[in-house]
Structure 1
Amino acid sequence: MSKHSSYSKRIIGQAGIVSWGQLFFSHPTLAGLELPYFDIEAPQPGPKLAIIAGMHPNEVSAMEAALRLKNYFADQLVHGSVSILPVLNMPGLYLHSEFVCPEDNKNINFLSPGDPQGSFSEVLIDSVLNSWAKEAAVFIDLHGGDLREDVAKFVMCQQIGDGEFDNITRSLAHQFDADAIVEFAVDQTNNRGRATNELPWLGRHAVMSEGGANGILDEENIQFHFNGVANIARQLGLTQGAKQIRTRRNIVVDNFDKIEAPVSGRWYLDIAAGEQVSRGQRLGVIKNLYGEWVADIIAPFSGLILMIVNHNIINQGEWLISLAPTPAGSLE
């Protein structure tokens, strides 16, 4: 067996330039896994675009955007090809699994670039990135809004210190109309393991979008993902026509930190996803089961709220808020 798993397809339908069916990987760890896929092949040559969604299978707005993009490219693709995996975490789909793949209880999102000798999730992301998407000019990972979280509309990309390469990556990320664009700094170490963090170090362009809340299908978030990918396709020359105009703030930041719960209890938020906060501002309060005050959660620096847990019941050590320092802020 080669270092990376090979894959095969069972076509179950075809209409015009679109085919769809089931994707299988040869690795024995992935035996029995069937992933739905779409391939759209233009009549003229050009770059390949690889799109995945459903790494976290409650993030339904991102998955719906992937489905709609299939129809869009069926009508609009004039050069190159687009391959779409609309549901990556199939083992967790009907279990409504939060964050993890139930085969090994690991979060696929932090396992890139994968490991062909690892557990199920590590083998899966290795097979996707290093086999299925190997020839893609750009890899796009659509996310946002698990059952207990609310996520601002933002997009991530990783800088590696190569000016020309980084300019292309940034330009791809800026095709999304976002509340924030996280251009991860070259030397950051606290946000690693996402495909968008790791592929650039291998010379491959990747972006990741976040937008959604609480496993709810939401048209505004669907369009956020859809329009960003459509704009990237236009930039790559896969499609023609005007790009969607950006109207949101598109604040550029270079990292974000997680704020965790110091104790278990009831969680009452003072802020919302997408809101800008000041150092020392109260972000929420934790109370005990009797409704008595236990702790205030205070902003350690000025920044932008990217993600929040908005479920009332939280556990000690659990992630509550992702906060990105804005240019005027500091990580004091």
Structure 2
Amino acid sequence: MMIKVGNLVAEAGEKVSGYVSVPETVIKLPVTLINGKRAGKTVLITGGIHNAEYTGIETAIQLAEELIEDEITGCLILIHPVNISGFENRTMSAVAEDGKNLNRLFPGNPSGTVGDKICHFLVTEFLSQTDFYIDLHAGDGYEMLTPYVYYLGAAAPEVVKQSKAMAQKVNVPYMVKSFITTGGAYNYAGSCGIPSILIERGGEARWSEAEVSLYKADVKNVLRYLAVLDGEVKAVATESVDVDDVVYENACVTGCWYPRKKVGEKVKKGEKLGVIKDYFGKTLESCVARFDGVVLYQVSSLCILKDGPMITYGKIKS
């Protein structure tokens, strides 16, 4: 069975890489198609929807290089990275041409700005022929996080079940059931009936071979579970703990951020999680835990912006 994305075509038993043009833009996405000799499901893997999240991008690049058609049943489509203009202009996870965050724009708009058009193209050209979706992320250039995985919560019951099963094959300490229904790529895919997960590993615009090695092992284990990659599914070293009632705290003011906790650290209700001060050391805002939980990610830079992310934590489900 042939697989075609834009101008790229891979026949059964072929692996093809090249650039795919986004209509009515100058954007060309680096894409790899791996079409196995045996018929099966199609899995989409994206890195760099947020272009400063380098561990996910490098993982997608290495997977595209390493995986071969002889070990694939079905098809793999890899984009590495999605926000290539942001990557090449070193923006903080925004499309260079319009300043928009791709993971807030799905399903996109063919008549919109560049970011809208990229998202619409991903929906019509990629997700339209996808059976399962794995989205690779990290902390942004100013964020650090503890490794965890999101799975779908706001989708059809069978899609939620399959998404959670995929998440359980990822070797991270926490998994979060997401009930967000708009804007995000994997959330939108779920609304289309595509079991999807979003993996978080690394951050602060850094990457290492050690992190990427762990990341590749995660993705390959999910692919084995989906019977797309040859080999046995490996037991995860640590069974992921469910985290729910996740709170995404945004800053009320611009200033200097002083976190009191580390990512992955437990917190108690009423405990101070961090403070924002002005340039004279005066406290402008204090962030206090609303309940017992665990810190998933937080801003790690001194600079923090009004209405921008500050810290995210959730309850550990017993």
- With normalisation by structure 1, the TM-score equals 0.86
Cross-structure match for 2:7: 9
Cross-structure match for 2:116: 122
Question: What is the aligned residue count?
Answer: 314
Cross-structure match for 2:57: 63
Cross-structure match for 2:32: 38
1:277-315 CA distance string (max 9 Å, x none): 111111112222123444332112222211110111223
| Alpha-carbon distance between aligned partners in 1 of 2:275 and 2:285, rounded to the nearest angstrom | 6
For the structure 1 residues 60 and 262, does the alpha-carbon distance in structure 2 shift closer, same or farther, using more than 3 Å as the test? same
| Alpha-carbon distance between aligned partners in 2 of 1:316 and 1:91, rounded to the nearest angstrom | 26
What is the 5 A alignment of 1:269-280? 269-280=259-270
Give the letter aligned to residue 278 of structure 1: K
| Alpha-carbon distance between aligned partners in 1 of 2:72 and 2:253, rounded to the nearest angstrom | 55
DSSP-derived class of the 1:98 partner: coil
- Contact kept, 8 Å, 1:158 with 1:200, in 2: the verdict is yes
| Alpha-carbon distance between aligned partners in 1 of 2:105 and 2:56, rounded to the nearest angstrom | 20
Cross-structure match for 1:107: 101
DSSP-derived class of the 1:134 partner: helix
- Contact kept, 8 Å, 2:73 with 2:230, in 1: the verdict is no
- Contact kept, 8 Å, 1:107 with 1:121, in 2: the verdict is yes
DSSP-derived class of the 1:68 partner: helix
Cross-structure match for 1:3: none
Which deviates the most, 307-316 or 80-89? Answer: 307-316
| Alpha-carbon distance between aligned partners in 2 of 1:201 and 1:292, rounded to the nearest angstrom | 46
Cross-structure match for 1:91: 85
Does the alignment pair 1:24 with 2:21?
yes
| Alpha-carbon distance between aligned partners in 2 of 1:172 and 1:122, rounded to the nearest angstrom | 29
Q: Percent identity?
A: 23
1:82-127 CA distance string (max 9 Å, x none): 1111111111112111121122211101112222233221221121
For the structure 1 residues 48 and 314, does the alpha-carbon distance in structure 2 shift closer, same or farther, using more than 3 Å as the test? same
For the structure 1 residues 183 and 40, does the alpha-carbon distance in structure 2 shift closer, same or farther, using more than 3 Å as the test? same
| Alpha-carbon distance between aligned partners in 2 of 1:91 and 1:56, rounded to the nearest angstrom | 11
| Alpha-carbon distance between aligned partners in 2 of 1:161 and 1:33, rounded to the nearest angstrom | 31
Cross-structure match for 2:142: 148
Structure 1: state its 5+ residue gaps. Answer: 1-5
**Deviation, structure 1 residue 46:** 1.1
| Alpha-carbon distance between aligned partners in 2 of 1:75 and 1:245, rounded to the nearest angstrom | 25
What is the 5 A alignment of 1:238-317? 238-248=228-238, 250-317=240-307
DSSP-derived class of the 2:6 partner: strand
1:29-76 CA distance string (max 9 Å, x none): x2x211111111211111111111111211111111112212332176
Cross-structure match for 2:187: 197
| Alpha-carbon distance between aligned partners in 2 of 1:257 and 1:269, rounded to the nearest angstrom | 16
What is the Cα-based RMSD across aligned positions, in Å?
A: 2.4
For the structure 1 residues 76 and 253, does the alpha-carbon distance in structure 2 shift closer, same or farther, using more than 3 Å as the test? farther
| Alpha-carbon distance between aligned partners in 2 of 1:299 and 1:35, rounded to the nearest angstrom | 41
**Deviation, structure 1 residue 255:** 4.7
DSSP-derived class of the 2:200 partner: strand
Structure 2: state its 5+ residue gaps. Answer: none
| Alpha-carbon distance between aligned partners in 1 of 2:265 and 2:251, rounded to the nearest angstrom | 20
For the structure 1 residues 61 and 300, does the alpha-carbon distance in structure 2 shift closer, same or farther, using more than 3 Å as the test? same
| Alpha-carbon distance between aligned partners in 2 of 1:75 and 1:170, rounded to the nearest angstrom | 27
DSSP-derived class of the 1:165 partner: helix
| Alpha-carbon distance between aligned partners in 2 of 1:23 and 1:207, rounded to the nearest angstrom | 24
Which deviates the most, 158-167 or 194-203? Answer: 158-167
Give the letter aligned to residue 67 of structure 2: F
1:214-251 CA distance string (max 9 Å, x none): 11112343234312211121112122223343223512
For the structure 1 residues 76 and 300, does the alpha-carbon distance in structure 2 shift closer, same or farther, using more than 3 Å as the test? farther
| Alpha-carbon distance between aligned partners in 2 of 1:217 and 1:60, rounded to the nearest angstrom | 6
Give the letter aligned to residue 46 of structure 1: G
